[in-house]
């Protein structure tokens, strides 16, 4: 037997559905109400004051008497206590109502919530998507609790919560697959040009990068093997293939190490550029570092090449900096991510001039101006074919502070000889150049200028000479 205190209520209204069923306002699990044994009551072992003014329900709780029910608050719940919960709800007005429009309200709510999350989740970042989902769940649960406590209405909650979680999981999964696809596309598009670490960097924010053509300040590099025709004629095709693979592999590794984009291989030549597709404020410096390391790296190939009976390789490198067009260019059949423009053409010509001056690297004025922490040697002022304005060309000697003192002394003597040459003081310039050639017999540059002085003596350039060397071929 269970019982509870009786309260005074008038105008009592019990919400029921169309078949007369009501929602039981359970107060908790089994024995939420006081239990008294009926045998004790009959035998007078219960104080009458304990039952006075109370509503008592007489029922059974033993399993064998078949009055145990499965309820939301217990798998085996006494039927007599179910009645007690119901009457208690009638007395205190806690019986909730499931309105007849519950199905329509649920469908409408799911449609509105689903449409909102479907539109917003793909537009925001994963973090904001998580916050939006959490806010939606909080709003759904809060609104449901408001209706429960404020209006006594029972509306479904599980379907809305499940919808939020499913849409969130779907959005995250879709985003993952899209991101993976984008990364694969970036790898396919740029992986053959750009170092893998830069591809990963691009894939983190792919919207910033595009293969569409644009004008931008970049640095371009051209390298070429000296006397390659003679070398190729002395090797059979298989040996030549292995030699070129070893050479190009080593030079490409150096380029990629310094964040360069390999544009193309043109026979034995390499074309690369810096500053695209990933922005690089130090593109000129990285290009110069690449050229210097190329010259060092190629000397590491001498020993293994000699072991195979192959000749030593020597390369010339030209570098130029300026505005050029970069993008995916070509035909519908075949395209390439490349650079074009007058600056690019000049870079190629600088590489060709390295043979003329007997130096390994030549850079243009803009490159020299952009790399302020390097020591450069001015080689000449030239006017390439088809150009109106002269161009000063330089040889990088290395980072400031790393150039040997002997090289700095040689640089001072050379600068003095160059000033004498441009002032047409042929005797003093020739004497200075002879001294340099004796101290540094391996430098072809000094012999080149000695030969020029001999020609100018025979055919003086005149007082209007600007000291510029004009090139009549590309």
Mean pLDDT of the chain: 85
**Band (7; pLDDT cuts 50, 70, 90):** very low
**According to the model, what pLDDT value does residue 188 have?**
62
Q: Please report where in the chains the tokens 């101290």 appear, as a residue.
A: 439
**Band (61; pLDDT cuts 50, 70, 90):** confident
211 Cβ partners below 8 Å, 6+ apart? 189, 277, 327, 328, 337
The backbone torsions φ and ψ at residue 335, rounded to the nearest 5 degrees and listed phi first, read -130, 165
Please tell me the distance from the alpha carbon of residue 326 to that of residue 336, in angstroms, as a whole number.
10
**Band (59; pLDDT cuts 50, 70, 90):** confident
Residues 99-133: tens digit of each pLDDT: 777 777 778 878 888 888 888 887 877 788 888 88
Please tell me the distance from the alpha carbon of residue 98 to that of residue 105, in angstroms, as a whole number.
11
Please tell me the distance from the alpha carbon of residue 17 to that of residue 32, in angstroms, as a whole number.
26
**According to the model, what pLDDT value does residue 211 have?**
66
- Single out the residue of 375, 370, 357, 373 nearest to residue 447, CA to CA: 357
CB 136 within 8 A of CB 189: no
Please tell me the distance from the alpha carbon of residue 88 to that of residue 7, in angstroms, as a whole number.
9
CB 205 within 8 A of CB 260: no
Q: What is the dihedral of CA 129, 130, 135, 141, to 10 degrees?
A: 120
CB 445 within 8 A of CB 361: no
- Break the chain into its structural domains and give their ranges: 2-92, 102-186, 211-392, 404-474
Q: What is the pTM of this model?
A: 0.64
In degrees, to the nearest 5, what angle opens at C-alpha 44 toward C-alphas 38 and 45? 80
Residue 392 pLDDT > 70: yes
CB 286 within 8 A of CB 274: yes
Residue 347 pLDDT > 60: yes
Share of the chain above pLDDT 70, in %: 89
**According to the model, what pLDDT value does residue 198 have?**
62
Q: What is the dihedral of CA 43, 46, 49, 52, to 10 degrees?
A: -70
Alpha helices in 16-62 (DSSP H): 38-42, 48-51
Report residue 176 as tokens: 């993952």
Q: Domain spanning 211-392 has what CATH number?
A: 3.30.70.1230
On the question of a cis peptide bond just before residue 185, with omega within 30 degrees of 0, the verdict is no
């Amino acid at each position: 037997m269970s019982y509870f205190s009786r309260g005074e209520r008038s105008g009592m209204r019990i919400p029921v559905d169309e078949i007369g069923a009501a929602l039981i306002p359970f107060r908790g699990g089994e024995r939420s109400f006081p239990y008294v044994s009926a045998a004790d009551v009959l035998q007078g072992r219960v104080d009458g004051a304990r039952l006075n003014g109370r509503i008592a329900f007489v029922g059974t709780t033993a399993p064998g008497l078949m009055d145990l029910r499965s309820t939301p608050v217990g798998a085996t719940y006494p039927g007599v206590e179910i009645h007690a919960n119901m009457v208690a709800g009638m007395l205190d007005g806690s019986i909730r109502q499931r309105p007849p429009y519950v199905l329509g309200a649920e469908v409408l709510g799911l449609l509105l919530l689903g449409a909102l999350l479907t539109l917003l989740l793909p537009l925001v970042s994963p973090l904001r998507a998580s916050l939006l989902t959490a806010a939606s769940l909080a709003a759904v649960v809060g609104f449901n609790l408001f209706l429960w406590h404020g209006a006594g209405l029972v509306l479904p909650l599980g379907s809305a919560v499940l919808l939020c979680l499913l849409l969130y999981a779907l959005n995250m999964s879709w985003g993952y697959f899209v991101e993976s696809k984008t990364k694969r596309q970036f790898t396919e598009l740029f992986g053959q040009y750009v170092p893998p670490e830069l591809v990963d960097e691009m894939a983190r924010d792919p919207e910033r990068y595009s293969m569409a053509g644009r004008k931008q300040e970049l640095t371009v590099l051209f390298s070429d093997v000296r006397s390659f025709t003679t070398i190729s004629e002395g090797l059979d095709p298989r040996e030549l293939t292995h030699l070129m693979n070893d050479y190009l592999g080593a030079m490409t590794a150096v380029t990629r190490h310094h964040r360069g984009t390999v544009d193309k291989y043109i026979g034995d030549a390499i074309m690369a550029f810096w500053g695209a597709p990933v922005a690089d404020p130090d593109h000129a410096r990285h290009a110069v570092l690449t050229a210097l390391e190329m010259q060092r790296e190629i000397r590491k190939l001498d020993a293994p090449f000699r072991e195979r009976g192959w000749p030593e390789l020597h390369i010339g490198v030209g570098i130029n900096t300026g505005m050029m067009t970069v993008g995916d260019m070509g035909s519908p059949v075949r395209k390439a991510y490349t650079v074009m423009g007058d600056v690019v053409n000049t870079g190629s010509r600088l590489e060709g001039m390295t043979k003329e001056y007997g130096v390994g690297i030549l850079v243009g004025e803009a490159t020299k101006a952009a790399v302020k922490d390097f020591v450069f040697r001015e080689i000449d002022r030239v006017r390439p074919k088809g150009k109106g304005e002269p161009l000063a060309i330089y040889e990088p000697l290395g980072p400031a502070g790393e150039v040997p003192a002997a090289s700095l002394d040689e640089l001072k003597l050379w600068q003095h000889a160059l000033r004498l040459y441009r002032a047409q003081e042929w005797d003093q310039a020739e004497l200075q150049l002879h001294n340099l050639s004796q101290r540094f017999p391996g430098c072809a540059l000094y012999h080149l200028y000695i030969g020029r002085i001999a020609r100018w003596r025979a055919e003086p350039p005149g007082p209007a000479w600007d000291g510029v060397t004009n090139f009549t071929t590309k």
